[in-house]
Amino acid sequence: MYRIVEAQRYNPQVKRLTVEAPRVARRARPGQFVMVRVDERGERIPLTIADSDAASGCVTVIFQEVGCSTAMLGALEAGDTIADVVGPLGVPSHLEGLGRVCVVGGGLGCAIAYPQAKALFGMGAHVDIVAGFRSASLIFLEEEMRAVSHKLTVCTDDGSNGCKGLVTDILKAALEETVYDAVIAIGPLVMMKFVCLTTKPYAVPTIVSMNPIMVDGTGMCGCCRVTVGGEVKFACVDGPDFDGHLVDFDEAMRRNTIYRTQEQRSLQEHICRGEERLHAQ
């Protein structure tokens, strides 16, 4: 059992948990992830490591509640326990040699991009961050991102924070002004796809972090396969970072819908069961 030492809710869908997992914390590097199983009947869900501290033996995950399992995880508070935390999994991000980088985060992707930005900033790189959210009420990690960047632009789809626009608009303007060694884009697949289309004419290497469906996270199930440059890769052991200009995003988007019907049903059942419990109390 893995004990939660800290829990913080950022918005109705996004939560942060810091969990005791000393072996994982000791080795975790930016770009890696853990597989989490909430309880005995739970599924194994991949979550990016948002932060880790070898000294305290803790790892932090930030996740969005989309299905039953993440909703159950979201219901946990400090002092509760998680059945299983396995990791760190995946290849750490290759950040060496990058002097000038633009990090683009979309929604929850900001949490996944944050450790990369933090590591790069710590290594002395020039880091600009473009963070996109749907509206002002959903913004999180703003101060943390500001602290690890030279320039932070937070935009929203509806302009409710005063900066209306898509991350690709901001990025395009930045690419006109600055020559970056790399763009690191993490967010919904469709956002990553359009970031890659935006950077392509500028020939800026663009790294994306894929988050496909996984069962084991160690290269065994093969369901996380992603086509990169015409070759089939397993995101869990070959990634999750890939050259975005080579990723077949349309296939990845299609594969991510495999269990959508089952997910929605299980979430609905979970909500119903929760309501039953409330009525029973």
Partner 1 sequence: MLNKSTTKTPMPEQEPALRARNFEEVAFGYTQAQAKREAERCLRCKNKPCVSGCPVGVDIPSFVGSLAEGDTAAAADVIRRANALPAVCGRVCPQETQCEQFCVRGRNGEPVAIGRLERYTADWAMEYGEDESPTDPNGVRVAVVGSGPAGLTCAGALARLGCAVTVFEAFHKPGGVLVYGIPEFRLPKAIVAREIAQLEARGVAIETNCVVGRTVTVDELLTEGYRAVFVGSGAGLPTFMGIPGENLNGVYSANEFLTRVNLMRAFEKGAQTPIQPVRRVAVVGGGNVAMDAARCALRLGAELVSIVYRRGEQEMPARAEEIHHAREEGIAFHLLVNPVSLVGDEQGWVREIVCVEMELSEPDESGRRRPVPKEGSRVTLPVDAVVMAIGSSPNPLIRQTTPDLAANRWGCLVADETTGRTAKRGVYAGGDAVTGAATVILAMGAGQAAARAIYEDVTSGRI
Which residues in the 168-207 window bind partner 1 by CB under 8 A? none
**Number of residues that make up the chain:** 281
| Contacts of 230 by beta carbon, 8 Å cutoff, 6+ apart | none
DSSP string computed for 46-73: EEEEEEEETTTTEEEEEEE--SHHHHHH
Please say which residue, 105 or 217, places its beta carbon nearer to partner 1.
217
Structure tokens at 191: 């956002």
Binding residue for partner 1, selected from 14, 61, 86, 110, defined by CB under 8 A: 86
Under the criterion CB under 8 A, does residue 41 sit at the interface with partner 1? yes
Structure tokens at 64: 């969005």
Binding residue for partner 1, selected from 31, 74, 87, 109, defined by CB under 8 A: 87
Please say which residue, 11 or 266, places its beta carbon nearer to partner 1.
266
- The residue written with tokens 């710590």 in the block is 122
Please say which residue, 26 or 134, places its beta carbon nearer to partner 1.
26
Provide the 3-class DSSP secondary structure of residue 122: helix
Structure tokens at 48: 């990016």
Under the criterion CB under 8 A, does residue 258 sit at the interface with partner 1? yes
Please say which residue, 190 or 220, places its beta carbon nearer to partner 1.
220
Under the criterion CB under 8 A, does residue 64 sit at the interface with partner 1? no
Q: Is the peptide bond before 88 cis (omega within 30 degrees of 0)?
A: yes
Under the criterion CB under 8 A, does residue 161 sit at the interface with partner 1? no
- How many residues bind partner 1 (CB under 8 A)? The answer is 38
Under the criterion CB under 8 A, does residue 81 sit at the interface with partner 1? no
Beta bridge partners, 128, equal 102, 151
Q: What is the dihedral of CA 7, 8, 12, 13, to 10 degrees?
A: -60
Given the rule CB under 8 A, which residues bind partner 1? 23-24, 27, 37, 41-44, 68-69, 83-89, 215-216, 218-223, 225, 227, 232, 237, 251, 254-255, 257-259, 262-263, 266
